[in-house]
Amino acid sequence: MYKILVSDPIAKDGLQTLLDDPDFEVDIDTGLSPDELIEKIKAYDGLIIRSQTQVTPEVIEAAENLKIIARAGVGVDNIDRDAATKHGVLVINAPDGNTISATEHSMAMILAMARQIPEANQSLKEGKWNRSQFKGTELYHKTLGIIGTGRIGLGVAKRAKSFGMKIIAFDPYLTAEKAKELDIERASVDEIAQRADFVTVHTPLTPKTKGLINADFFAQAKPNLQIINVARGGIIDEQALVDALDKGLIARAAIDVFEHEPATDSPLTKHDKIVVTPHLGASTVEAQEKVAVSVSNEIEEFFHTGNVRHAVNAPKMIFGEEDNELQEYLNLCDMVGKVCIQLLGKAPRELKIKFSGELVKEDTNILTRTIAKGILSQDLAERVNLVNALFLLNEQNVVYNVEKDAKSRSFNNYIELTMINRDRKVTVGATVLNGYGPRIVQINDYPVDFKPEKYQLVIHHQDRPGIVGRTGQILGEYDINIASMHLGRTTQGGNAMMIISVDMPVSDEVIAALHQIDGFESIQFVDLNK
C-alpha cells in the first residue's frame, strides 16, 4: 500500500485513478502549515502539490519514505529540486495539461489590458458612464514581442497573428529556420524592448531569467508599451515595473504571477495602470483536471513499473514493456557497473564511460545514470537511484567522463566502463547480442564472451594444463554446481582468465581452497544480487 498526500486543492476527478487503485491510500489535507507538513510527510511515499505548498529542504529531510513529488502544473520553483535530488526523490510535473488555459489567459490579459475592460467594468458598476475615459488600443498591425517560444509562447503567437499582429520573438533555442517556418522574426531582448507595442513573457524562472525585464528594458521601451506576465513571478522586476509606469516610460501592464504569493499586499495589485489576476493562468476546469490526471497516472505508473515521463530532476525515462531494447541496455549498464566495481575491489576515483555504435545517436544520459547506480549500489544500497546517482558520484568526489564514438568494433552497440583508483584499473566491455541478450565481451586485456549470471568467479591464472579440471573438482567437493565456464588468454602459456558462473554464493572457505591450485594468481567473487 503506497500512501499519497495531496496538500493543495486538486481536481478530485483527476485523482480518481489513484483513489480507485487498491494499492494506494490517498489523503487530501490542504492548508497545512510548514511545521504541520514536516510532521505529516514522514508517513507518505508520494506528495501531490500545486503552487501553494512549499517543499523545502526541511520537508524533504523529514520525508523518510518519500519517493516522488508531483507538481500538478508546469512550474516547480516551489520545490527544492537540489534537496530532492540529493535524497533520491523524483520530481515530476504536468507540462502539457495547462498549455491551452495559459495561452488563452495570456490573450485575455492582453485584450483586457488593451481595452481597459476591468476599469470600465468597475466604473460602470459604480454608476458612472465615462465612455471617453476608457479609450483602448487595437491589436491590429501592432507588434507583439514574445520572450520565450515554448508551447505557450508559440500558442500566443498563433492567436495573436489571427488579430493581425506582427510577431517578434526571443528564445535562445529559436532557430532561423523555425522562425521562418512560423513567420516569426527573431529579435534580441533589447530589440523587443525598443520595437514592441505589446510584450508577453513565457520563460521559466531561472537565474538567467530572473529580473530579465528590468529598468534597462523599460528605459528602452516605447511609451505606449503594454506588457503582460502569465509565466512566473520574478521574470519582471516588480519595482522597476512600478517605477516605469509611474514615470510614464510604458503605458500599462497585466500581471497574473508575482514574486511573492499570495500577493494581496503587493504594490502591483494597488496600481491603477496594472490589471491583476491571482495566478489564474492554469485555473480552468479543463486544465485542473488534465494536470491532476497526468500526475495521478504517472504516480501510478512509477510505483507499479518504475516508468516516468515528466521527471524534472532526472532524464526522461521511458522503458519497460514499451521499449524492450532500451530495457536490455539498461540492464546491461546496471550489470557492467556492478561487475566492474567488484572487480576493482575499492572505491573508484575516476570513471571513463564509452558508448559506441548506434547508441550514440540517442540520449545516453539514462544509460550513464544506470551505470553510476550499479556502481554506487554496492556501497550505498537503497540510497542511490537513477535520480541521484550522478549527484552522489560528485558527492563522493568521483570524476567521470563520457565518450561517444559512432564506430564500434564488431558490434552494433558497445558499452565500455573503466574504473581507476590510483595504480589500479579495471575495464569491462559489454554489448547486447540479438537472440543472446547481454554479454560481457572484454575484461581488461582479455577478450571474453559470456552472459553474466547471479554469481561468478573471475580467476586470473597462468595458462597451464590441468587447471580447469582441478577447479571443477574443488567446486564439486563443496557441492557447487557450475552453470558455465569461459576462458580467455593473451598468449599460449601466458596469463589467462577463467570466468565461472555458479548456482550459489561462494564462501571464503571455497576461495581459500581454490587458491591452493598452483598457477592461480587472484580469485574474485562477483555477486550481481548485491
Distance of CA 521 to the CA centre of its chain: 45
232 is catalytic: yes
CA distance 523 to 512: 9
Match 583508483 to its residue by C-alpha cell: 421
**Strand order from edge to edge, sheet including 437-443:** 399-405, 350-357, 413-421, 424-433, 437-443, 446-450
Question: Any residues with CB less than 8 A from the CB of 388 and at least 6 apart, and which?
Answer: 85, 86, 87, 88
Cα 293–74–54 angle (5° rounding)?
Answer: 100
CA atoms within 13 A on the CB side of 355: 19
Handedness of CA 57, 59, 64, 70 (dihedral sign): negative
Closest CA to 156 of 97, 226, 230, 267: 230
Quick check: 314 and 308 in contact, CB under 8 A?
yes
Number of helical (H) and strand (E) elements in the chain, helices listed first: 17, 22
Of 71, 105, 202, 232, which residue is the catalytic one? 232
CA distance 116 to 135: 8
Q: What are phi and psi of 73, to 5 degrees?
A: 160, -165
Of 25, 119, 185, 261, which residue is the catalytic one? 261
Of 279, 300, 369, 416, which residue is the catalytic one? 279
What grid cell was written down for 400?
Answer: 567521470
Quick check: 486 and 439 in contact, CB under 8 A?
no
What grid cell was written down for 197?
Answer: 507595442
Q: Which residues are catalytic?
A: 232, 261, 279
